[in-house]
Chains A and B, each alone.
Chain A
């Protein structure tokens, strides 16, 4: 049988394409490729036939035309005369805003609920169990609508703030909670360094980043000194000044002041408005996903073996240090990977903004632009590309992080 398993190179027979494992691989792959090409070609030929029958074409020219509609939440400058492309970018930024807010909040909710669910307090742990089960088992779309309805129905309208005997009043004259959203004081600069408002904030963030790096370097030096001498130098005043001094100086130079919201005309003017639609979407996504994260956190903590807790206690660590130094670092390895997919889910679920009229990219590009131009194929393709890019980049970033905290096994 040796001749069969080691045939001469010359004696190639056609049947070997199927029967010989060396060639079969290639045969299968070519067949798969052919089938794929056929299927795609078939779909595309249908598309072209249908489009030509309807007299339509595929064109992205509409992106350069004026959008003609207004958007309420504009992170960058935008008017109804801006292009559809700019409207899409505004939508993209709004998607990112709500996604980031919801990710952070969901993590906070999830960690708190996950830890409290393991609490020894019977009532608290039961309440957390109810929270997790109720929110996990009802569709997020229903939650978004319910929270939006709560926002609208239970908060006072701005006109309730009007008059001498107003039904509602502002908190500290700074915050106004209305059913159009929450108005908070907005930080403004009297003498900004840049014309473009956004660049000033970039500068602020750059300063904060530098402070962070400085504080970290200081911390490392202190740890090194502790390692060599056994004495940790007192650094809290240095750390504090590293954090406060640069940013404080910048604020003084740029002339920071707060713009307080005030009731003028129909609405509150001034300040920063966090719209009801944003709040509804943000809170609903955060609470819903928080319930899933809580389960992960709980599973992660339970996955750390009991011996670790006991060992830590035997070393004389206090309970909160046991949690911070022993359990959480180990639990994080279990918690992080599913967390990535929850963050991805938040980003994807933020497309449900359409149910509450939040102008995310599904609302601008996939909503009004699609509606006004009728360019369904083009807009939906762009929409999918955007979400795909976001998803793949989040997974890539989180995978890098994931690898960096992974247990280094040798």
Chain B
């Protein structure tokens, strides 16, 4: 049950005995919910809808892990985090995992002691300009005023890009996406820059999306992925292989529609191992045999999640691009389930 206010006060008074440190998996199971850090609102990736339900691509990742570990895709506490608060939230144990458009970089992995468990979206920083500005390349942006949504690696990439091209610019850093849009739409800045996926999501919400173009240049590599704390390898494995299960399922053609059929046994041993009808992969993770079935039951495989939240049929309208399976010329390549 929820620790009462009084107990909280006791802990403050320093009287609560610190329990011996258990693994994150045990914590999550004991608690019965997964605490998942998401962004404060980026349509398509993580945003609460009109009835307060969180939905989006990153949210789907959280639900998949909850389904694998707890057997209930709704046993997730979504913790909205800003660019500033996300790392402390994870490091201090407030969240068990972070699924919040976080770029995998050397210093975050090594210096901040986090473990990126894979890439669920290959992104890159792009520029959006109003069509009537008459700009067709980012190289023509010398002297422009650029709205930046702060809180990711955006500021650094932007500084590098303009410096290496010997151009000047005026940065306008804005905390939230909604306010950055307001500035951009009012013409207080000429350009809006953030991850290309974010640009597409933002453009989709405009009254007149056709009046804005995303420039062809992608100025950075932004591999976005879920991350966990360093040191708890078992938990890291669970998050990593939940993501891999989603990717592999698409590669093997396992969808939410044909899952029941696949789970009853197929000729493909890898599908069987994924579905838990062959081998003991689930037990090795510390879960049961059918964990991956539950993961896929939440929102289908990677491709289905993509299409449902950010794909071309949604207002966001992102093409698969780099995020297609390796067989289709993309970068998604899950290690084998064996």
Task: Give the residue of A54, A80, A153, A266 whose beta carbon is less than 8 angstroms from that of B145.
Answer: A266
A228 CB → nearest B CB, Å = 61
Cβ B188 vs Cβ A179 within 8 A: yes
- Stretch of A130-138, A240-248, A364-372, A386-394 at the chain-chain interface: A364-372
Cβ B84 vs Cβ A370 within 8 A: yes
CB of B171 within 8 A of chain A?
Answer: yes
Cβ B143 vs Cβ A267 within 8 A: yes
A12 CB → nearest B CB, Å = 34
Cβ A70 vs Cβ B155 within 8 A: yes
- Stretch of B48-56, B179-187, B274-282 at the chain-chain interface: B179-187
B13 CB → nearest A CB, Å = 9
Cβ B143 vs Cβ A264 within 8 A: yes
CB of B26 within 8 A of chain A?
Answer: no
User: Which residues does chain B contribute within 8 Å of A376, judged by CB atoms?
Assistant: 87-88
For the complex, what is the distance from the CA of A233 to the CA of B231, rounded to whole Å? 85
A153 CB → nearest B CB, Å = 6
Cβ B170 vs Cβ A267 within 8 A: yes
Cβ B14 vs Cβ A39 within 8 A: yes
Chain A contacts with B in 237-278, Cβ cutoff 8 A? 264-267, 269, 276-277
For the complex, what is the distance from the CA of A354 to the CA of B175, rounded to whole Å? 7
CB of B322 within 8 A of chain A?
Answer: no
CB of A72 within 8 A of chain B?
Answer: yes
Cβ B142 vs Cβ A265 within 8 A: yes
User: Which residues does chain B contribute within 8 Å of A355, judged by CB atoms?
Assistant: 175
The number of chain B residues with a CB under 8 A from chain A is 46
| Contact flag A157-B155 (CB < 8 Å), given A152-B183, A371-B84, A371-B150 | no
CB of B190 within 8 A of chain A?
Answer: yes
User: Which residues does chain A contribute within 8 Å of B145, judged by CB atoms?
Assistant: 180, 266-267
Interface 0/1 of B114-146, CB less than 8 Å to A: 000000000000000000010000000111110
User: Which residues does chain A contribute within 8 Å of B182, judged by CB atoms?
Assistant: 149, 152-153
CB of B332 within 8 A of chain A?
Answer: no
Cβ A157 vs Cβ B150 within 8 A: no
- Stretch of B105-113, B217-225, B239-247, B249-257 at the chain-chain interface: B105-113
Cβ A371 vs Cβ B151 within 8 A: yes
CB of B174 within 8 A of chain A?
Answer: yes
Kindly name the residue among B144, B163, B188 whose own CB sees the greatest number of chain A CB atoms within 10 A.
Answer: B188
A184 CB → nearest B CB, Å = 17
Cβ B187 vs Cβ A159 within 8 A: yes
B207 CB → nearest A CB, Å = 15
Chain A contacts with B in 173-217, Cβ cutoff 8 A? 179-180
CB of B308 within 8 A of chain A?
Answer: no
Cβ B171 vs Cβ A72 within 8 A: yes
| Contact flag A357-B188 (CB < 8 Å), given A70-B159, A152-B183 | no
User: Which residues does chain A contribute within 8 Å of B141, judged by CB atoms?
Assistant: 266
For the complex, what is the distance from the CA of A149 to the CA of B181, rounded to whole Å? 12
User: Which residues does chain A contribute within 8 Å of B190, judged by CB atoms?
Assistant: 266-267
CB of A290 within 8 A of chain B?
Answer: no
CB of B203 within 8 A of chain A?
Answer: no
CB of B158 within 8 A of chain A?
Answer: yes
Q: Name the CB-closest residue of B to A160.
A: B187
CB of A171 within 8 A of chain B?
Answer: no
User: Which residues does chain B contribute within 8 Å of A367, judged by CB atoms?
Assistant: 84, 150, 173
Q: Name the CB-closest residue of B to A71.
A: B171
Task: Give the residue of A264, A269, A359, A374 whose beta carbon is less than 8 angstroms from that of B173.
Answer: A359
B51 CB → nearest A CB, Å = 26
Kindly name the residue among A54, A267, A269 whose own CB sees the greatest number of chain B CB atoms within 10 A.
Answer: A54
For the complex, what is the distance from the CA of A348 to the CA of B142, rounded to whole Å? 36
User: Which residues does chain B contribute within 8 Å of A68, judged by CB atoms?
Assistant: 155-156, 159-160
User: Which residues does chain B contribute within 8 Å of A158, judged by CB atoms?
Assistant: 187
Kindly name the residue among A158, A277, A372 whose own CB sees the greatest number of chain B CB atoms within 10 A.
Answer: A372
User: Which residues does chain A contribute within 8 Å of B159, judged by CB atoms?
Assistant: 68-70, 80
Cβ A180 vs Cβ B87 within 8 A: no
User: Which residues does chain B contribute within 8 Å of A381, judged by CB atoms?
Assistant: none
User: Which residues does chain B contribute within 8 Å of A58, judged by CB atoms?
Assistant: none
Chain B contacts with A in 242-272, Cβ cutoff 8 A? none
Cβ A371 vs Cβ B83 within 8 A: yes
Cβ B143 vs Cβ A265 within 8 A: yes
| Contact flag A54-B156 (CB < 8 Å), given A42-B14, A71-B171, A371-B83 | no
For the complex, what is the distance from the CA of A256 to the CA of B261, rounded to whole Å? 84
For the complex, what is the distance from the CA of A355 to the CA of B108, rounded to whole Å? 26
User: Which residues does chain A contribute within 8 Å of B175, judged by CB atoms?
Assistant: 354-355, 357
A174 CB → nearest B CB, Å = 21
Q: Name the CB-closest residue of B to A179.
A: B188
User: Which residues does chain B contribute within 8 Å of A265, judged by CB atoms?
Assistant: 142-144
CB of A363 within 8 A of chain B?
Answer: yes
User: Which residues does chain B contribute within 8 Å of A50, judged by CB atoms?
Assistant: 92
Kindly name the residue among A50, A70, A157, A359 whose own CB sees the greatest number of chain B CB atoms within 10 A.
Answer: A70
CB of A164 within 8 A of chain B?
Answer: no
CB of A230 within 8 A of chain B?
Answer: no
Cβ A368 vs Cβ B111 within 8 A: no
User: Which residues does chain B contribute within 8 Å of A264, judged by CB atoms?
Assistant: 143
User: Which residues does chain A contribute within 8 Å of B144, judged by CB atoms?
Assistant: 265-267
What are 13 sample pairs from A and B whose C-beta atoms fall under 8 A apart? A54-B230, A56-B91, A68-B156, A69-B158, A80-B159, A180-B189, A266-B143, A357-B174, A357-B179, A363-B173, A371-B150, A374-B87, A376-B87
Chain A residues with a Cβ under 8 A of chain B: 39, 42, 50, 53-56, 68-72, 80, 149, 152-153, 157-160, 179-180, 264-267, 269, 276-277, 354-355, 357, 359, 363, 367-368, 370-372, 374, 376
| Apart from A372-B153, A374-B88: 17 A-B pairs, beta carbons within 8 A | A53-B21, A54-B231, A55-B231, A56-B91, A68-B156, A68-B159, A69-B156, A69-B158, A70-B162, A72-B172, A152-B188, A160-B187, A179-B186, A265-B142, A266-B141, A266-B190, A357-B175
